């Protein structure tokens, strides 16, 4: 059992503002540091090159939390296909993640999480662990101390309802008829983020059927009062949004009893068609595990047997989410990230000085070019006249390319001297046009959809499992701005509107919020290089404020780190144990801001060179990736390689924006951004003046 603890905001006690916190740190001799950086770059590049797949891609493990493993076992139990070998291997992984107090966290070193603990406990009961065993009794006691099953999230209680451990009547209602709502109505399925709609549509079918698989055991020990396990929720005021949606849920419960059978049957058939139409070539849905789990379950409840080609392909896809970190131990990935990992690895190697025509980079380019998506997906609901051209995160996910991957793939491709230049230029041109067309009305970019900003989905009682909308974010917007600037489009109107938005989003501290990485260090490490690449000089007030903040939050050991609790508690902003990836993000920002010869950069570089392992990699148990802020965290196992190599390469080569900036490689593509959004939103291409103030200007 792994011992982990959670402290208060002062818990990394080693971190204090360093002597380099002043806004103008003194220069330091760089000779020894530069030599150490060169050696580290060579070792890291060799290590990364050795990890490339023969087909040209890279992929590190994507570690989340044990709810993935628990729900995989519960699905197999529900379908009657659970086998003892898989169960035992999964149980070993689940046990290894338990804290000393009996709970399970959702990220390394984090506090215990009630829902994760309940799901892990039930999964271990399936594996044969006795409630009287010390680790199980401790988990049950901890769960009761946190309120028991009744205090867990909706999705946990849905899983328990599938086995009769919770009453379906005591769950929020989400009817399948939601599939019929037109896109102009609130709470239609396209007002949810793509990951949420892929999960909600099949769950409406599951909720309509309300199946109960005979429970193999009871879980009274997880309830505060086993005789009254389902306490009624306190009624909230009708004058509050929570009260409004609470009453809406009561209306939906009443509708369930009186809904016309023909309408309900039609709705469930429409949901089935929607699900099947979005199944990917590999049998999965959206390249992520949760929608695949619920889609298989929904189709099976609708009468598709387990040997049906659609269901069988779905089940086969779930097996591909399993990785075996050691013999006899099985961990489930929530997702797989080959496109993201490959473009980041390509950027890292190019910025480290690997030749633009190196066979590994050319092979990576060939693979990425083959992954470009050339057909419309759900994003076209908001942008019906926009031509496709993006990249997705995963191996197979043609329905949901994302703006972030597309921007980084373009930044990678433009670093490569590819023998078929016309093919590469054409791919970049399509990608830039697609990304620009996905700009939201406010001038910024979200990840998967444009203008996905409805305030209503997050208020539904059903939606307590994390962020369910996809509004624009600083990190995604910064990556698009950086891409456009690298292609010489820094004066294009779309770029300027993105810059304006970024400047308006800067926090009072000088940092930027990181939606898809942890957190303010990631947001700042994305925004500063983008703004500097687009022409904001080192003396621009926004850049200076960001630099000052990075100096202030540098750890005493020279690195940077930030705990995931910063999403809920500002005391954690920029504070946490030093990590390789977060130190690299801070260094990338400081280098872009012209801080190469400062003490902060020298100490950060030395932290990376001193902590590098013999094989050229870095150790990073801490989670620095974000799925949903506050609710779902990610440890990308390749982050500990690609970002340090990128930062050290830029430092060692004195190229603060990476290889070849601002011009594309020889014979680079000539890309013209469209003058209007393909949706007809009327986005102007005229240049604007860059304001000199940040948030609240």
Instruction: Choose among 6, 95, 170, 48: nearest CA to 563.
Output: 6
DSSP secondary structure, 434-480, as one string: HHHHT--TTS---SSSSSB--SSGGGSTT--SS---B---HHHHHHH
The torsion angle over the Cα atoms of residues 188, 115, 297 and 177, rounded to 10 degrees, is -20
How does DSSP classify residue 402?
Answer: B
Give the closest residue to 546 by CA, choosing from 529, 560, 562, 558: 529
Distance CA 594, CA 536 (A): 11
Angle, helices 403-413/338-351, rounded to nearest 10 degrees = 30
Mapping DSSP to helix (H, G, I), strand (E, B) and coil, where does residue 635 land?
Answer: strand
Collect all residues with Cβ–Cβ distance below 8 Å to 600 and sequence separation of at least 6: 18, 20, 25, 550, 551, 554, 590
Ramachandran angles phi, psi of 291, nearest 5°: -60, -35
* Active-site position among 69, 404, 425, 449: 404
Length of the chain: 697
Active site includes 404?
A: yes
Largest Cα–Cα distance of the chain, in whole Å? 78
Tokens of 243: 């009260």
Task: Characterize the bridge pairing of strands 322-326 and 62-63.
Answer: unpaired
The owner of tokens 């801070």 is 586
Q: Minimal CA–CA distance to 288: which of 396, 377, 446?
A: 396
Ramachandran assignment for 147, one of left (phi > 0), alpha (psi -120 to 50 degrees), beta (any other): left
Secondary structure string (H, E, C) spanning 235-279: CCCCCCHHHHHHHHHHHHHHHHHHCCHHHHHHHHHHHHHHHHHCE
Residues taking part in catalysis: 404
């Amino acid at each position: 059992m792994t011992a982990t603890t959670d402290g208060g905001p002062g818990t990394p006690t080693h971190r204090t503002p360093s002597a380099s916190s002043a806004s103008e740190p003194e220069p330091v001799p760089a000779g020894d540091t530069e030599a150490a950086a060169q050696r580290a770059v060579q070792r890291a590049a060799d290590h990364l090159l050795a990890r490339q797949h023969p087909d040209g891609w890279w992929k590190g493990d994507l570690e989340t939390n044990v709810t993935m493993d628990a729900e995989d076992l519960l699905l197999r139990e529900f379908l009657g296909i659970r086998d003892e070998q898989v169960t035992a291997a999964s149980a070993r992984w689940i046990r290894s993640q338990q804290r000393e107090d009996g709970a399970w966290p959702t990220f390394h070193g984090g506090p215990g999480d009630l829902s994760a603990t309940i799901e892990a406990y039930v999964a271990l009961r399936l594996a044969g662990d006795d409630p009287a065993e010390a680790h199980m009794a401790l988990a049950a006691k901890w769960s009761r101390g946190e309120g028991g099953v009744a205090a867990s999230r909706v999705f946990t209680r849905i899983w328990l309802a599938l086995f009769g451990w919770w009453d379906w009547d005591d769950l929020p209602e989400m009817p399948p008829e939601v599939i019929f709502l037109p896109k102009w109505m609130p709470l239609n399925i396209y007002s949810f983020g793509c990951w949420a709609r892929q999960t909600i549509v099949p769950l409406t079918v599951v909720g309509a059927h309300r199946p109960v698989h005979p429970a193999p055991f009871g879980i009274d020990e997880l309830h505060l009062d086993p005789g009254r396990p389902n306490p009624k929720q306190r009624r909230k005021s009708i004058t509050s949004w929570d009260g409004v949606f609470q009453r809406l849920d009561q209306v939906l419960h009443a509708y369930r009893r009186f809904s016309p059978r023909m309408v309900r049957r039609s709705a469930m058939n429409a949901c089935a068609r929607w699900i099947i139409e979005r199944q990917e070539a590999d049998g999965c849905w959206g390249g992520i595990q949760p929608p695949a789990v619920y889609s298989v379950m929904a189709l099976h409840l609708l009468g598709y047997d387990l040997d049906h080609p659609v269901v069988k392909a779905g089940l086969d896809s779930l097996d591909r989410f399993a990785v075996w970190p050691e013999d006899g131990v099985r961990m489930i990935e929530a997702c797989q990230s080959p496109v993201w990992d490959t473009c980041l690895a390509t950027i890292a190697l190019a910025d480290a000085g690997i030749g633009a025509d190196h066979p590994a980079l050319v092979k990576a380019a060939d693979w990425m070019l083959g992954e470009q998506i050339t057909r419309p997906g759900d994003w076209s609901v908001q942008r019906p006249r926009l031509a496709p051209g993006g990249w997705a995160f995963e191996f197979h996910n043609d329905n949901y390319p994302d703006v972030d991957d597309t921007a980084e793939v373009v930044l990678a491709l433009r670093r490569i001297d590819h023998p078929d230049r016309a093919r590469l230029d054409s791919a970049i041109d399509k990608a830039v046009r697609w990304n620009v067309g996905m700009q939201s009305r406010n001038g910024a970019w979200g990840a998967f959809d444009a203008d996905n900003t409805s305030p209503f989905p997050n208020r539904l009682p059903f939606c307590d499992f994390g962020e369910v909308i996809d509004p624009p974010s600083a990190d995604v917007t910064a990556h698009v701005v950086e891409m456009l600037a690298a292609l010489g489009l820094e004066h294009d109107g779309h770029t300027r509107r993105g810059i304006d938005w970024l400047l308006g989003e800067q926090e009072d501290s000088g940092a930027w919020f990181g939606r898809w990485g942890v957190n303010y260090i990631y947001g700042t490490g994305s925004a500063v290089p983008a703004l500097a690449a687009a022409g904001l000089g080192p003396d621009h007030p926004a850049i200076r404020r960001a630099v000052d903040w990075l100096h202030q939050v540098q750890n005493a050991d020279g690195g940077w780190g930030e705990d995931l609790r910063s999403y809920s508690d500002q005391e954690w902003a920029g504070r946490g144990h030093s990590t390789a990836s977060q130190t690299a993000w801070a260094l990338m920002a400081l280098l872009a801001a012209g801080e190469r010869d400062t003490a902060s950069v020298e100490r950060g570089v030395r932290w990376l060179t001193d902590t590098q392992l013999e094989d050229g990699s870095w150790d990073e148990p801490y989670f620095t990736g974000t799925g949903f802020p506050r609710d779902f965290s990610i440890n990308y196992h390749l982050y500990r390689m690609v970002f340090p190599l990128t930062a050290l390469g830029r430092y060692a080569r004195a190229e603060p924006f990476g290889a070849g900036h601002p011009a594309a490689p020889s014979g680079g593509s000539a890309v013209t951004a469209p003058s209007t959004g393909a949706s007809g939103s009327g986005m102007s291409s005229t240049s604007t003046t860059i304001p000199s103030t940040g948030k609240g200007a």
